Amino acid sequence: MNPSTTTPSDTATAHADAGAGPPEGSSAGSALEARDISAWFGDNKVLERVSLAVRSGMVTALIGPSGCGKSTFLRILNRMHELVPSASMSGQVLLDGVDVYGPGQRITDSRRRIGMVFQKPNPFPMMSIADNVLAGPKFVGMRLGRSERDRLVEECLTKAGLWREVKGRLRAPGGALSGGQQQRLCIARSLAIRPDVLLMDEPCSALDPTSTRRIEETIQQLADEVTIVIVTHNMQQAQRVSQECAFFLAEEGTPGRIVEYGPTRRVFESPTDQRTLDYVHGRFG
């Protein structure tokens, strides 16, 4: 669907501009498609038939005011929503065409293919830097020899932009790093399971501007090989790191929906919906 035809009520499917095409050189990662996702906490419906086709090898930003369901949507993509006792959902999440909620699909398989980085850096503080990186593979049952482990630690820390800063102290505890370094360690930990998709929920909101910039560089470098979906409240960040952008909104007690989706530049510079225009210009939210 061309976003110019996307109306506020037309939330059934949101695809980016068909004619826009992926940026040159972006072909890696996996395609992720959410279809008709609705979500509840108890009786409270917080998402209403949200559909979103995330293109592979790109960064997609989810923006919108607080409470409109961005984090819930993100957590549905890798089956974390179901861990909340009162939570329920309907719809499909297709990873390379296969519904991660389909019969026979295991939650561990989804976690292995779809990694997550949280708002607050959460390394294991007493565990060494190297063991933090290896914690993900260990958790999902990957068996690695000593040299494979060493290679994986270096590879993931390099990709996360942290290797040069920590290569001389891999046995130091993860908790001894700065906040920005801890977040890059968490990114390295997520990469160690070799995910196809990396979900990031406001990964810079607890960081200073320098660390934020460093993480943004890391995101841009990673986009060549992993599909990234990032929730951010920072409009400049959305424009700096993403190629595509979805604007979520929950109006007057109604569940969250996608108002508009498309190439980030178009969403920010010439949105089709007045509410998108108002939001990206800081007039509400």
Write out the residues near ligand ATP by the rule CB under 6 A: 41, 46, 64, 66-72, 84
**DSSP code for 256:** B
Q: Which residues contact 135 (CB under 8 A, 6 or more apart)?
A: 124, 127, 189, 192
CB of residue 31 to ligand ATP, shortest distance in Å: 23
CB of residue 86 to ligand ATP, shortest distance in Å: 6
Rg of the chain, C-alpha, whole Å: 19
Q: Are 52 and 260 in contact (CB under 8 A)?
A: no
Which pair of tokens denotes residue 121? 């850096």
CB of residue 21 to ligand ATP, shortest distance in Å: 29
- Tell me the β-bridge partners of 249: 257
- 3-class secondary-structure state, position 125: coil
Nearer Cβ to ligand ATP (72/276): 72
Nearer Cβ to ligand ATP (72/264): 72
Nearer Cβ to ligand ATP (69/137): 69
CB of residue 253 to ligand ATP, shortest distance in Å: 9
Query: In angstroms, rounded to a whole number, what is the distance separating the alpha carbons of residues 113 and 191?
Result: 10
Nearer Cβ to ligand ATP (68/193): 68
Nearer Cβ to ligand ATP (211/232): 232
Nearer Cβ to ligand ATP (63/219): 63
- 3-class secondary-structure state, position 215: helix
Alpha carbon dihedral 200, 205, 209, 211, in 10-degree steps, equals: -50
CB of residue 193 to ligand ATP, shortest distance in Å: 24
CB of residue 180 to ligand ATP, shortest distance in Å: 20
Nearer Cβ to ligand ATP (86/147): 86
CB of residue 120 to ligand ATP, shortest distance in Å: 12
Query: In angstroms, rounded to a whole number, what is the distance separating the alpha carbons of residues 7 and 39?
Result: 22
Long-range pairs, 131-134, Cβ under 8 A, ≥24: 132/174, 132/185, 132/188, 132/189, 133/157, 133/185, 133/188, 133/189, 133/192, 134/192
Query: In angstroms, rounded to a whole number, what is the distance separating the alpha carbons of residues 5 and 272?
Result: 8
